[in-house]
Structure 1
Amino acid sequence: MFFFSLVLDPMQPTTPFGARNSGMLVSRSVDHGATWQSPVTLIRSNSPHVLNDKNSLTADPTANGYVYAVWDQLSVFPQTKDAAQLLAENDGVLIARKLHNAAAGAAPVFKFNFTGPSFFSRSIDNGVTWSTAAPIYQPGTNAQTIDNIVRVLRDGTLLDFFTAINVTKAGGVDIGYIKSADKGGSWTGSTFASDIQAVGVVTPDTGQPVRDASILYSVTVNPVTGAIYLAWQDDRFLTATCTTPTGSTPIDGIAFSESDDGGATWSTPVMINKTPANAANPCRQQAFIPAVVASGDGKTIVVTYYDFRNDTNTPARFEGTDYFALFCSTSTPCTNSANWGNEQQLTTASFNILNAPVAGGHFLGDYMGLAASGLTTAYPVFGIATSPNVTAEFTRKISGLQ
């Protein structure tokens, strides 16, 4: 077992711009989590102008002992106080959104440049030792990656997926990947699966921002067929508008796209969530923070997400939120939204999104966990706001997938 952690030292007011460390550590357990070995440092940056962020770890199911670590390293230059103050937030998603908005013309242009390459380190001995961390994809100046995730195809090929910001066009957000045929020794240039069209979710009654996954995505590989599945928030599907006391915004749904040729081509995105229409309050049609996984036998795709369908704003300032699972049998074309169904509500009762902690919006987490277990079982991990400023993590067993 492995635990991959982003670590930060507190800022020191006596050093220029409050210099601090950011780094990536991997801990290892050989007794199913009962005890843990000392963490190994993959990278350590001692600069207020560098932030290592948004890390993920992947064990290779096709090569025993191989484990892959990826993350983005956001850096700003020239080294000015304003640049350091941006990274001082220590929150890569909030920073990325600010930089994206600036490039899209929705915010003041920053008086510095930035870049955010994908970094990679691997172990070939089950995490005992690791290669020197190094960039594997350079997005260019005033562009960045975030949400790097390695997925392994059936033939052992690695794909490092990422959100690319300002890479294909100024203000653009795309899901891209690079490929390695030699276990991370070398990588191809970038390919892009789809753009992301999303401005983000607001609470359905008071219009407060929600910390959602509007620049992120989830990706999985079918272990039997090799198909690759993507899910993300997107507002291209619905024409209704969410209007609250704070303004109007498009309505995000859950987008799905599939590649059956190793990522060379992708199906046209379709909206798959089953959130019902709500003419009285279209804001209750918003769906957010998706996760996707394929069952171990390859016969079912599972997608989970939140929405506000059960919200009644009763009592006032209780904005009801629930978590759902949705399924598609791979014996049918899952690129057809009509083939998604058998929806299950995973929360036993609605919770109040206004209780969620705020980190640039009511915060349940940037991701929700979703993993297959055995052939026909999946386990989601999801956040619920249980009291003011408190989020607890829950799981449910989803069994009998066919």
Structure 2
Amino acid sequence: MAVDPTDTSRLLVGHQQDRWDDGGARGLVGVASNDAGSTWANTIPPGVTDCTGGKFRRASDPWVDFAQDGTAFFFSLVLDPMKPTTPFGARNSGMLVSRSVDHGATWQAPVTLIRTNSPHALNDKNSLTADPTANGYVYAVWDQLSVFPPSQAGDQLLAGNDGVEIARQLRNAAAGGAPSFKFNFTGPSFFSRSTNNGVTWSTAAPIYQPGTNAQTIDNIVRALPDGTLRDFFTAINVTPSGLSIGYITSTDKGANWSAPAFISDIKVRAAGVVTPDTGQPIRDASILYSVAVNPVTGAIYLAWQDNRFSTATCTTPGAGSIAIGGIVFSESDNGGATWSTPVMINKTPANSTNPCRQQAFIPAVVASGDGKTVVVTYYDFRNDTNTPVGFEGTDYFALFCTTGCTNPVNWGNERQLTTASFNILNAPVARGHFLGDYMGLAASGHTTVYPLFGVATGPNVTAEYTRQITLP
């Protein structure tokens, strides 16, 4: 979700439509509101996938933003899946940016930032940031996962078309050292920028190379109030912990980038979250994170899933026993030079009857426009009773902090954003019941925040909802 800075009642959302369980969807849909979320209408960028007059069969990872003058952007990952039974078969993947000069009402033909025609590579997990400190500058980042030397096993792995799932498989295989596969892999951070609000873009190129049998994922650029850029990412097999959050820095609007710095280790296991009664896997955010910058103070906020504070074990018929993950927060008040000790902030209550109902997952974080409040959203199972049998109740919550956010007691005023619990077992399955790899959360003006979240509304159907939250 994004908010137009020229009119904070104008909102833009991007989501997938008709997703396959092995990655990608038939198309990506924009939805816009011009009245602060009271009414909504589709605004679909043309020329992306087959169903919108484009050249690709699937798309994924929609990302939207507005420039300071109201120019809107819609960033799309596109791919033609290759057949798993065809070794070394060609597979196209690429990154497209659509541009709107009427605040997202209509869209120009997309610009191709990169197109890779190879069974050995997959462009994945993209994000786009219009610089809030310098109108005209727009930054696109993603990872490019590749395997080498060419092998049938490597190509079959990448044939899955789902970069998050592939990253988890590679992370598990390499946890004890070099991967057991008879091939190597890498996943550098790729970057392209525009200096004229998306009219033209620089040639896509790597800005961070993590090395052999290592990769980045979830690259997100954030601008500090002084214009300094940070490209954050999850680093896999780069640090001794195996999973960590890192960033690189640019002080010249993306022309040059620093060496990486690493922050807090992500200790959550790849198993992630399961349904609390049956133990079915949930597609969560266990190797991802959310990051925000305070527009007034420049403080940087990170939220992610982590099981380091687990004091109980989740045991189910379907998943055995796993550690219980929560939502963990860390803050830097000096531009990222140092970070506060991670703390668990979610208010999910203990549950002696079924500790699996203590799991919390898929966080998002944002700072209010006046810089006075930090907001974090997440799902949990606190209201689940397994009544009737087969209904695994799930809800979405918002949590607030105005001062001393490095102390978990200062997070409070929790609000349930779902009007009623929904059955997570209804969520479509894409390597687990899938609501989304991330949820939207955007600040509007000084004291309004809009969360965007998925709710399973029927068998194999997820709908998106939002609420207007007015802060003190």
Give the shorter-chain TM-score range.
Answer: over 0.9
Match of 1:321 among 389, 394, 400: 394
Q: Which amino acid aligns with 1:50?
A: A
The equivalent of 2:376 in structure 1 is 303
Provide Cα deviations, 1:257-302, integer angstroms capped at 9, x if missing partner.
0000000000000000000110111000000000000000000000
The equivalent of 1:210 in structure 2 is 282
Determine whether 1:156 maps to 2:217: no
Give ranges in structure 2 of 5+ residues lacking alignment.
1-71
CA 1:398 to 1:177, structure 2 compared with 1: closer, same or farther past 3 Å? same
Q: Which amino acid aligns with 1:159?
A: R
Match of 1:172 among 237, 242, 245: 242
* Larger displacement relative to structure 2 (171-180 or 369-378): 171-180
Kindly report which structure 2 residues correspond to 1:233-252, keeping only aligned pairs within 5 A, or say none: 233-246=305-318, 247-252=320-325
Kindly report which structure 2 residues correspond to 1:8-19, keeping only aligned pairs within 5 A, or say none: 8-11=79-82, 17-19=88-90
Q: 1:357 offset after TM fit, Å? A: 1.0
Determine whether 1:290 maps to 2:363: yes
Determine whether 1:227 maps to 2:299: yes
Distance 1:160 1:55 in 2: 12
CA 1:243 to 1:108, structure 2 compared with 1: closer, same or farther past 3 Å? farther
CA 1:15 to 1:252, structure 2 compared with 1: closer, same or farther past 3 Å? closer
CA 1:227 to 1:108, structure 2 compared with 1: closer, same or farther past 3 Å? closer
Distance 1:279 1:15 in 2: 50
Q: 1:34 offset after TM fit, Å? A: 1.6
Determine whether 1:197 maps to 2:270: no
Distance 1:383 1:107 in 2: 37
Distance 1:106 1:241 in 2: 27
Q: 1:18 offset after TM fit, Å? A: 2.6
* Larger displacement relative to structure 2 (143-152 or 236-245): 236-245
Q: 1:214 offset after TM fit, Å? A: 0.3
Indicate if the aligned counterparts of 1:301 and 1:328 stay in contact, CA closer than 8 A: yes
Determine whether 1:134 maps to 2:205: yes
Match of 2:440 among 358, 364, 369: 369
- Where 2:164 maps in the other structure, the secondary structure is helix
Provide Cα deviations, 1:308-348, integer angstroms capped at 9, x if missing partner.
0000000011000000000001xx21000000000000000
Distance 2:136 2:374 in 1: 28
Distance 2:159 2:282 in 1: 22
Determine whether 1:379 maps to 2:450: yes
CA 1:106 to 1:140, structure 2 compared with 1: closer, same or farther past 3 Å? closer
Distance 1:13 1:156 in 2: 45
Match of 2:167 among 91, 96, 99: 96
Q: 1:106 offset after TM fit, Å? A: 11
Kindly report which structure 2 residues correspond to 1:1-150, keeping only aligned pairs within 5 A, or say none: 1-11=72-82, 17-105=88-176, 109-150=180-221
Q: 1:238 offset after TM fit, Å? A: 2.0
Distance 2:317 2:190 in 1: 42
TM-score for both structures, normalised by structure 2: 0.83
Indicate if the aligned counterparts of 1:75 and 1:114 stay in contact, CA closer than 8 A: yes
Q: Which amino acid aligns with 2:174?
A: A
Q: Which amino acid aligns with 1:87?
A: L
CA 1:349 to 1:138, structure 2 compared with 1: closer, same or farther past 3 Å? same
Indicate if the aligned counterparts of 1:70 and 1:119 stay in contact, CA closer than 8 A: yes
* Larger displacement relative to structure 2 (103-112 or 228-237): 103-112
Provide Cα deviations, 1:351-402, integer angstroms capped at 9, x if missing partner.
1011111111111100000000000001011111111111111111111x13
* Larger displacement relative to structure 2 (258-267 or 99-108): 99-108
Indicate if the aligned counterparts of 1:357 and 1:388 stay in contact, CA closer than 8 A: yes
Q: 1:14 offset after TM fit, Å? A: 10
Q: Which amino acid aligns with 1:160?
A: D
Q: 1:13 offset after TM fit, Å? A: 8.2
Distance 1:260 1:173 in 2: 23
* Larger displacement relative to structure 2 (108-117 or 54-63): 108-117
Distance 1:229 1:257 in 2: 6
* Identity between Structure 1 and Structure 2 (%): 83
The equivalent of 2:469 in structure 1 is 398
Q: Which amino acid aligns with 2:378?
A: Y
Distance 2:467 2:182 in 1: 47
- Where 2:88 maps in the other structure, the secondary structure is helix
The equivalent of 1:184 in structure 2 is 254
TM-score for both structures, normalised by structure 1: 0.97
Q: 1:10 offset after TM fit, Å? A: 3.6
Q: 1:81 offset after TM fit, Å? A: 1.1
- Where 1:17 maps in the other structure, the secondary structure is coil
Q: 1:64 offset after TM fit, Å? A: 1.1
Q: 1:108 offset after TM fit, Å? A: 7.4
Q: 1:233 offset after TM fit, Å? A: 0.3
Match of 1:271 among 344, 355, 361: 344
Q: 1:15 offset after TM fit, Å? A: 6.9
Indicate if the aligned counterparts of 2:95 and 2:114 stay in contact, CA closer than 8 A: yes
The number of equivalent residue pairs is 398
- Where 2:469 maps in the other structure, the secondary structure is coil
Q: Which amino acid aligns with 1:317?
A: G
